[in-house]
């Protein structure tokens, strides 16, 4: 059994390139480590996509500002409070509030966090992009527990080509600020970006390890028809699983979700991920009427499923993978 072994860039690259039986052995190894650390428990987090209004134009994303064919929506603060309290009543112990990137609703979110924290003990994760240090402090003081901000790729040049509005150093700075402020911090990348190499992906994993991030949300890049990357093909699920397993072995005790994009790429993507190193599942808790409008990529699943059915549905997915869904906050365990 691997005990917090240190891996080199070339060892990680080798893992990413494994095929068939050797790849299956890698998934087995990652799964045994996951079970050694977490047992068969899978933590559940509900994700609420409360707004698709975005001022940025990331080349890969379906809700980028340049896409004029998106029906824009924003869930107001009173409705959002109610949705979170419903999630709490449905036994969710963690929710993730995700949106496009604009500043106009930031004060509302402070109020929503304060309200929810005064009513119940539910861990709040924010995924709202790059903000000022002051804003991150305000939300932390209001009671936010965690923040998700993907680096998307650690290849600086690639990052800059994909993000006309962003600066790589600023993204790094935001991540370091979040850590310094005491958030549990999640980051991640997309796998299969145009011009991304195995070496880039191996460096991504080392970056996660070196900076000791708590949560690692990764998934395949999936093209969206209304974006400049519409003609780029996605990677195979096997590359996603190799990456996931390598990430588990290298970063050891981090929280790693089986993501929606994995299930979009492969019908059984989440089950496969839960047997290759993932220990978290994130069902969509966005009210159904908004889901069609939060399409970051084409064919996103669950856009038609009822919100109130997702816990049952999620439990079944977890059981199909031979695991057990647990209703806990799922803080990082060291
Ligand atoms: N606006 C926030 C949060 C919403 S986007 C932000 O950018 O951080 C959340 C994540 O969706 C992004 O970090 C990105 O990794 C992922 N995403 C966007 N477009 C995608 C695509 N075409 N394929 C796969 N993942 C995508
Ligand atoms: Fe906006 Fe986030 Fe999509 Fe970029 S990835 S366009 S910031 S929602």
Containing structural domain, residue 233: 9-326
- Burial letters for 82-93: b for 16+ Cβ neighbours within 10 Å, e otherwise? ebbebbbeeebb
What pLDDT digit, counting tens, does each position of 30-42 carry? 999 999 999 999 9
Rounded CA-CA distance 83/28 in Å is 38
Proportion of the chain above pLDDT 70, given as a percent = 97
Q: Name which of 189-193, 260-264, 310-314 the model is least confident about.
A: 310-314
Q: Which position has the higher pLDDT, 4 or 10? A: 10
Nearest-CA neighbor of 324 among 2, 34, 29, 47? 34
Residue nearest to ligand 2 atom 3, measured at CA:
61
**Mean pLDDT of the 189-206 span:** 98
Residue 1 lies in a domain: no
- Average pLDDT estimate for 42-69: 97
Ligand 2 pocket test, pick from 100, 103, 193 with the greatest ligand atom count within 8 Å of Cβ, gives 100
Total of domains in the chain: 1
CATH of the domain at 224: 3.20.20.70
Q: 182 alpha carbon to ligand 1 midpoint, in Å?
A: 24
Tell me the torsion sign for CA atoms 306, 323, 95, 52: negative
CB of 101 within 6 A of ligand 2: the answer is yes
pLDDT for the residue numbered 1: 44
> What's the confidence (pLDDT) of residue 290?
94
Per-residue confidence (pLDDT) for residue 310, from 0 to 100: 75
- Does residue 76 lie in a domain region? yes
Whole-number percent of the chain with pLDDT over 90:
91
| The pLDDT of residue 217 is above 50 | yes
Question: Residues 195-199: what's their mean pLDDT?
Answer: 97
- Measured in angstroms, how far is the CA atom of residue 123 from the centroid of ligand 1? 22
Residue 332 lies in a domain: no
Q: How far does residue 295's CA lie from ligand 1's centre (Å)?
A: 10
- What pairing do the DSSP bridges indicate for beta strands 215-216 and 46-51? unpaired
Residue 211 in any domain: the answer is: yes
Residue 60 lies in a domain: yes
CB-based pocket (< 6 A), ligand 1: 60-61, 98, 100-101, 127, 129, 149-150, 152, 190, 219, 221-222, 224, 261, 296-297
Alpha helices, H only, the chain: 9-16, 20-38, 77-89, 106-119, 133-142, 156-162, 168-180, 198-210, 237-251, 260-265, 269-274, 288-291, 310-320
Tell me the average pLDDT across 9-37: 98
| pLDDT given for residue 129 in this prediction | 98
- 93 CA → ligand 2 middle, Å: 26
pLDDT digits (tens, 9 = 90+) for 318-332: 999 999 999 999 998
User: In the predicted model, is pLDDT for residue 305 greater than 70?
Assistant: no
pLDDT of 308 over the 90 cut: no
């Amino acid at each position: 059994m691997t005990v917090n072994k240190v891996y080199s860039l070339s060892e990680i690259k080798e893992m990413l390139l494994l095929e068939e039986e050797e790849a299956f052995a890698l998934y087995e190894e990652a799964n045994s480590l996951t079970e050694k650390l977490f047992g068969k428990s899978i933590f559940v987090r509900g994700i609420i996509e409360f707004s698709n209004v975005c001022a940025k134009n990331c080349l890969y994303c379906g809700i980028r500002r340049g896409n004029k064919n998106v029906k824009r929506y924003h869930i107001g603060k009173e409705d959002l409070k109610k949705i979170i309290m419903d999630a709490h009543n449905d036994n969710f112990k963690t929710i993730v509030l995700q949106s496009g990137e604009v500043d106009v609703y930031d004060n509302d979110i402070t109020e929503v966090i304060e309200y929810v924290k005064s009513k119940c003990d539910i861990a709040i994760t924010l995924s709202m992009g790059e903000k000022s240090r002051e804003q991150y402090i305000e939300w932390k003081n209001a009671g936010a527990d965690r923040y998700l901000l993907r680096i998307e790729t650690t290849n600086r040049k690639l990052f800059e080509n994909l993000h006309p509005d962003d600066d790589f150093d600023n993204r790094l700075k935001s991540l370091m600020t979040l850590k310094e402020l005491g958030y549990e911090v999640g980051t991640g990348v997309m796998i299969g970006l145009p011009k991304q190499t195995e070496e880039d992906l191996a460096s991504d994993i080392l970056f996660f390890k070196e900076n000791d991030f708590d949560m690692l949300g990764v998934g395949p890049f999936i093209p969206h028809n209304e974006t400049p990357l519409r003609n780029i093909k996605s990677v195979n699920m096997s590359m996603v699983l190799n990456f996931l397993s390598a990430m588990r072995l290298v970063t050891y005790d981090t929280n790693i979700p089986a993501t929606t994009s994995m299930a979009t790429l492969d019908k059984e993507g989440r089950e496969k991920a839960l047997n290759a190193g993932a220990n978290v599942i994130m069902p969509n808790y966005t009210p159904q009427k908004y889901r069609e409008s939060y399409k970051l990529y084409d064919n996103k699943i669950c856009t038609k499923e009822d919100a109130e059915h997702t816990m049952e549905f999620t439990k079944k997915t977890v059981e199909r993978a031979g695991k057990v869904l647990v209703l806990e906050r799922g803080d990082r365990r060291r």
